[in-house]
Amino acid sequence: MERLLTQNDSLDIVESADLLAQEQILQEILPSTPLVKPQSYRPTPWGIVNALLDVADMITRGRAGLLQRLSTFVLFGGIAAIVNLVVFYVVFYHIPLPVSTTTHNIIASVLAAEISIMANFIPNDHFTFRYLPGRNRSWIARCARFQLTSVGGSLLTFLIEFGFSSVGHLPAIIAQAAALILVLVYNFSFHHIFTYRHAKA
């Protein structure tokens, strides 16, 4: 029995030595390539931004692509918000209309919303949502879906602005700015869920 165990042990040692030798030969022949986890984001032309996205990818466990889209959406949304505020300011404060203050507020809000929606759609369609599946739709279809999604955001913006200015007695321009900030999360989420969602074949 002891002799049998000794023979088995000897066989195990020889097999282990063979395996180690094979692994060593393979390591010498084949270059060692570390496993690289794919990036969740689209690399940019700027090294520092890519380095920050790498860190974000590691911290968020592969959600840097979402953060990248959110940051460009906020950037272009900020520009569109400025457009919105400028149009609202000009129409409400500098274009006299033979209507009540409430109606004047509604007209200014509607014009500001529509112009800022297009100012938001064009850059976001080209940069922010460029690689999402819904980008395969035609430009008109994407624009229509963006408009439809943004109508909900615009209604929310108007209701919040009107509530802050009429009920809360805040200046109309401050109420408009606060409403735009509050509706940002709604807009970003619904553009992902509806506007640029996978297009059915």
Looking at this protein, which amino acid is placed at residue 20? L
**Residues 6 or more apart from 70 whose CB is under 8 A from it?**
188
Is 2's pLDDT higher than 60? no
Distance from C-alpha of 28 to C-alpha of 38, rounded to nearest angstrom: 27
What pLDDT does residue 46 have?
Answer: 81
**Alpha helix (H) ranges present in the chain?**
2-29, 47-59, 64-89, 101-123, 139-162, 172-190
Q: Where along the chain do its domains lie?
A: 64-195
Looking at this protein, which amino acid is placed at residue 57? D
Count other Cβ atoms within 10 Å, centred on residue 182.
14
CB-CB contact of 76 with 128 (8 Å): yes
Residue with the larger pLDDT of the pair 63 and 161? 161
pTM strictly above 0.75: no
User: Please, what sign has the CA dihedral across residues 161, 162, 167, 173?
Assistant: positive
Per-residue pLDDT tens for 15-36? 555 545 555 654 555 555 554 5
Percent above pLDDT 70 for the chain: 79
What pLDDT does residue 44 have?
Answer: 80
């270059």: which residue's tokens?
A: 31
**Residues 6 or more apart from 191 whose CB is under 8 A from it?**
73, 124, 129, 146, 149
